[in-house]
Structure 1
Amino acid sequence: MNELENFYLKQSEPVRSCYLALRDLILAQDINITNEWKYGSSFFYYKGKMFCYLWFHKKHKQPYISFVEGNRFDEPFLLQENRARMKIMLLNPNEDLPFENIKTMINKALDLYRNGVIKTNK
């Protein structure tokens, strides 16, 4: 088992199921998205460029998805905190995930890469 697989499997429920559902949702949005192990976390790349990642917020005690180019979005459910570039979306693993909001954000972020606003490596 590699580190990326272990990241998902070592999580306790319901966080594990939340992360696995997010992984599947993110990867389903575009064939050019890859899931890789980077900085001790599950990172997603679009054509070689960092796109988003999954992590756990210690203060809020919730998993989240972080969008690398999050500073370009003004959605009220995104938190910037002390980050200059990224914004996060906290998720309650004990409730149904807000799939429509997540898909909307993934596709808004993907549009930055697809339209050349963010240059990709491929």
Structure 2
Amino acid sequence: MTNTLKYGMPFFSYKGKMFCYLWIHKKLKEPYMGIVEGKHFDEVFLIQENRSRTKIMLFDVNEDLPLKQIEIIIRKAIDLYKTGIVKI
């Protein structure tokens, strides 16, 4: 996995494919992690909004990061690429 700045935000890629990114929600003013292939996930804590592929995971600035949930989502997302569901 590598990271770069893309569209002015920290973006992480897996084998050259956009994977996830960190940003601030414009309306809610809260940080979030965007999962590019989020459409493949049905976890209740991921939000689709008006995005076609991406789902986001909002973070409460007053609480610790939900590391277990983050780890689960990252592992599932990597598996999408490893299994060929998302072409590399």
Q: Is TM more than 0.5 here?
A: yes
Query: SS of 2:68's equivalent?
Result: helix
| Structure with max Cα Rg | 1
Looking at structure 2, the residues matched to 35 and 93 of structure 1 have their Cα atoms a distance apart, in angstroms, of 23
Which is richer in strand?
Answer: 2
- How many residues end up aligned between the 2 structures? 88
Q: Please say if 1:72 is aligned against 2:36.
A: no
Superposition pairs for residues 1-80 of structure 1, below 5 Å?
A: 33-80=1-48
Identity of aligned residues (%): 61
Say what the alpha-carbon RMSD is for the aligned residues.
Answer: 0.7
Show structure 2 runs of 5+ residues with no match: none
Query: SS of 2:78's equivalent?
Result: helix
TM-score by length of 1: 0.70
Q: Please say if 1:87 is aligned against 2:60.
A: no
Deviations 1:23-76 (A, max 9, x none): xxxxxxxxxx10111111100000000000111002111100000000110100
Aligned twin of 2:67: 99
- Moved segments of 4+, more than 6 Å: none
TM-score by length of 2: 0.96
What one-letter code is carried by the residue in structure 2 that aligns with 1:34?
A: T
